[in-house]
Copies of this chain bind each other. A is one copy, B any other.
Amino acid sequence: MPLPATREERIAQLRRIFMPRGVAVVGASPTPGKLGNLIVNNLKNAGFTGNIYPVNPNFPEVAGLTCYPSLEAVPGDTDVAVVAIPAPAIAGLAPAAGKKGIAGLVVISSGFAEVGQRALQDELVKAARANNLRILGPNIYGYFYTPLKLCATFAMPYTEPGGVALVSQSGGVANAILGYSRSRRMGVSAIVGLGNKADIDDSDALEFFGQDPNTQVIALHIEGLKDGRAFMETAKRISKVKPVVVLKGGRSSAGAKAASSHTASLAGEDRVYDAAFRQSGLIRARTLEDLLDWSRALQLLPDPAGENVLIVCGAGGLGVLMADACADHGLRLPPLPPDLQQAMKACIPPFGSVNNPIDVTGGEGAETYRKVISLALNDSRVHALVFGYWHTPLAPPLAFAKMLIDLVKEAKGKGIVKPVVVGLAGDVEVEDAVRLLEANGIPAYAYAVEQAIGALAARYRFWRGRRE
């Protein structure tokens, strides 16, 4: 039996997998520390909204739930079987799963292509196809879908909802988003391990999350592509609808060698990937930090109306560093129109600068900042505003943050919406200001001021990609 013929049918099947009514756990175990025990406990403790059916012929009960001897014996609706039994036994589950009407097997187990057992993997996919099943994995940490409080994983559970879906070939990358998201208050819609990508791959994930109303941004970590052409076709389409950030593991030859033993990925020429990502409208991150930071900012930032970025700074040196970062990230800092330049000049000391960056100079109080920011926000020729804040007793961080939030809200009340990002240098109070700004939708970065530019540039790339 082939895959469903139409995209709509394929998405419908994926929807059953990512948003299941019930989940069976094959290989459930009462022994603490066993994967089959951790998975059942995570599902249960995270508060999965559907039914959980442990499956193992050797035990009557797991984690306080009735344990069934086989998939056939499971009494209720179940769309997914999460599998944690030895690799060679997994293909044998397919007929029963098919008969039960299950949509997909989520195969946690390792022992397939990543250790040279490609035949075993092929056999698994063949059995799945013959029974109208899709395979997620094998060799994965599991998957999460926060709107259903679904944490089908042996690793750390996570249920704080938000708009970012992370699709990864690594549990490590999946794990990094947990603490980052909690610490930086991002929120995720889903975390999905693709592992060896025996069947469900990046294209499938893009198709599903592209239409998922709970997902605003897609973060993709890949080590290799199964079908580059199909991926590019799908990515080109989805990246017009939602921003897709991609981090490619195995850029270098040392990394590529490691990726081959990790997920049996053929990393290929990095230049080829780079060109493919660009042509597909994907936003390429070079590090995990950028993948996370940009995903978060993409969720917060609105589209700009044009290419004119304006930097305003309280300390000239920050403006210089931010201007360098603009050059690195392909952002334009045009000179100000003469009338705006004059208006700015009237606000700042004579030794300041009204070139772009505007240097308010270090000894100014909040009132100067307010005037300059108001001018920038209310001028339609300024399309995005970057602020390089430095901490002085004259304009403390929290007071500055509150003022900026008020000005942005005031502008919004007049129908003016543009991207605003902030980098803050100062004592630890700037971390409080970062939290306040971000709670109000303004991406902000303490100490690492240039990160603000990378985040803004990510939004610019998404915007430009839709105008081409």
A288 touches B426 (CB 8 A): no
Is the C-beta of A244 less than 8 angstroms from some C-beta in chain B?
no
Pick from B179, B180, B257: contact of A323, CB below 8 A: B257
Q: Mark A274-298, 1 if CB is under 8 A from B, else 0.
A: 0000000000000111001000000
Provide the residues of chain B in CB contact with A201, threshold 8 Å. Answer: none
**A359 touching B316 by the CB < 8 A rule?**
no
Report chain B residues within 8 Å CB of A175.
315, 390-391, 425-427
Please judge, given known A-B contacts A254-B324, A450-B288, whether A430 and B179 are in contact too, CB under 8 Å: yes
Q: Which residues of B contact A362 (CB under 8 A)?
A: 141, 154-155, 171
A231 CB contacts on chain B under 8 angstroms? none
Interface contact A355-B388, CB-CB below 8 Å: no
Question: A110 to chain B: which residues have CB within 8 Å?
Answer: 349, 351, 361
**Cα A186 to Cα B319 with chains together (Å):** 25
Of the candidates B316, B428, B449, the one whose C-beta lies within 8 Å of that of A261 is: B316
Cβ A328 vs Cβ B427 within 8 A = no
Count chain B CB atoms within 10 A of each CB in A223, A247, A258 and give the residue with the most: A258
Give complex CA distance A221, B321 in Å. 10
Chain B CB within 10 A, most for which of A170, A251, A429: A170
Interface flag for A131 (CB, 8 Å): no
Q: Does A3 contact B (CB under 8 A)?
A: no
Residues of the B chain whose Cβ atoms lie less than 8 Å from the Cβ of A180? 446-447
Question: Are A115 and B258 in contact (CB-based, < 8 A)?
Answer: no
Copies in the complex: 2
CB of B425 within 8 A of CB of A323, answer no
| Residue A415 at the chain B interface, CB threshold 8 Å | no
Is A114 an interface residue, CB under 8 A from the partner?
yes
User: Could you tell me if A156 and B321 are in contact, using CB atoms closer than 8 angstroms?
Assistant: no
Beta-carbon contact of B258 and A355 below 8 Å: yes
Task: Determine the main DSSP class of A at the interface with B.
Answer: mixed
Q: What residues of chain B lie closer than 8 Å to A154, measured between beta carbons? A: 362-363, 392-393
> B249, B324, B449: which contacts A252 (Cβ < 8 A)?
B324
Pull 27 A–B residue pairs with CB atoms less than 8 Å apart, ordered by A: A33-B394, A35-B363, A110-B351, A111-B351, A115-B350, A154-B363, A154-B393, A156-B391, A156-B392, A169-B317, A170-B318, A171-B362, A172-B318, A173-B317, A173-B425, A175-B426, A176-B449, A178-B426, A255-B321, A261-B359, A262-B316, A262-B317, A262-B319, A262-B320, A287-B325, A288-B450, A289-B451
**Which positions in A face B, CB cutoff 8 Å?**
33, 35, 38, 110-111, 114-115, 139, 141, 154-156, 158, 168-173, 175-176, 178-180, 182-183, 221, 223, 247, 249-255, 257-259, 261-263, 287-289, 292, 313-321, 323-328, 333, 349-351, 353, 355, 357, 359, 361-363, 365, 388, 390-394, 425-431, 446-451
Can you name 19 extra interface pairs (CB under 8 A) apart from A139-B351, A255-B327, A289-B451?
A38-B394, A111-B351, A155-B390, A170-B315, A170-B316, A171-B362, A171-B390, A173-B425, A175-B426, A176-B425, A178-B427, A179-B430, A179-B447, A254-B324, A257-B355, A258-B316, A262-B316, A262-B320, A289-B448
